[in-house]
Structure formats: C-alpha cells, structure tokens
C-alpha cells in the first residue's frame, strides 16, 4: 500500500487512468477506495465497454499509457477474450467488463460497504 509521497503517485495514477477511460468512452465508471480495506492496492476502478473489441482496446491503451507515463508494466489478464480484462498497476486495479459479464459478477457489491463506490467527477 502506498505511503507518504507514494500516495501522491497513487492519486496521480488514479487521475490519469480515469482521464484515459473517459477519453476511450468507457461506460459506468466506478471508483472504489481500497485504502484500509486491503493491501492489494489503493484503488479499484470498475467500468464497461460496449463490446469485446472495445473492452480489449480500452485495456490495451490503458496498459500502454501506464507503461509510457509512469514507467510501470501492469499485469493484464483476460485481454484475449475481451469479456473481462484486469489491469493491475500495483496501486490501482482496473476491471473492464462487457456489461453482461459485469452484471453477472457484481464486483461493486463485493467491495463496497453501504455505497462507498463513487462515480468519478468529470
């Protein structure tokens, strides 16, 4: 988990990821703070793409941006099928779903306590 100046890096990464998702027309973007809940990261973002092609494109561009701008090579899983792609940057974990798959797994319910998930402000 990030501490001190690492928190600023984590927050900068989060902001840049949210901007990239907005530019790529990701839908229903939800941001969940993981600080104090788990050691896996500081934030989780859950969003949807309209098709397997868009889900794959969003995740590919996002992973490349993290590498280019933050010098991190994120772990990416599921890009080949395009139903659910996980991008783990270390501090921010991003899930990009097709809407039907997102509805089936309902990750937001698993990670929120009484509505702590937030739609980012644009």
CATH fold of 5-111 reads: Beta Polymerase; domain 2 (3.30.460)
**Domain chopping of the chain, boundaries:** 5-111
Do the Cβ atoms of 71 and 53 come closer than 8 Å? no
To the nearest whole number, what is the mean pLDDT of the chain?
87
* 32-68 confidence digits (pLDDT tens): 998 878 788 899 999 999 999 999 999 999 999 999 9
Residue 9 confidence class, pLDDT cut points 50, 70, 90: confident
Task: List CB contacts of 58: < 8 A, sequence separation 6 or more.
Answer: 21, 24, 26, 47, 49, 85, 96
Burial (CB count within 10 angstroms: exposed 0-12, middle 13-18, buried 19+), residue 17: buried
Rounded CA gap, 51 and 92, in Å?
23
pLDDT for 39: 81
Residue 117 confidence class, pLDDT cut points 50, 70, 90: low
pLDDT for 1: 41
- Is the per-residue pLDDT at 11 higher than 60? yes
Quote helix, strand, coil % in the chain, to nearest 5: 40, 25, 35
What is the pLDDT averaged over residues 74-82?
A: 92
Residue 122 confidence class, pLDDT cut points 50, 70, 90: very low
Higher-pLDDT residue of 33, 112: 33
- Is the per-residue pLDDT at 116 higher than 60? no
């Amino acid at each position: 988990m990030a501490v001190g100046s690492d928190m600023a890096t984590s927050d900068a990464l989060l902001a840049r990821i949210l901007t990239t998702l907005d530019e790529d027309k990701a839908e229903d973007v939800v941001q969940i703070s993981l600080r104090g809940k788990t050691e896996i990261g500081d934030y989780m973002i859950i969003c949807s793409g309209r098709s397997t092609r868009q889900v794959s494109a969003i995740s590919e561009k996002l992973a490349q941006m993290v590498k280019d701008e933050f010098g991190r090579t994120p772990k990416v899983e599921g890009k080949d099928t395009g139903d659910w792609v996980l991008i783990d940057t270390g501090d921010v974990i991003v899930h990009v779903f097709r809407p039907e798959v997102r509805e089936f797994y309902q990750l937001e319910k698993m990670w929120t306590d009484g509505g702590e998930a937030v739609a980012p402000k644009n």
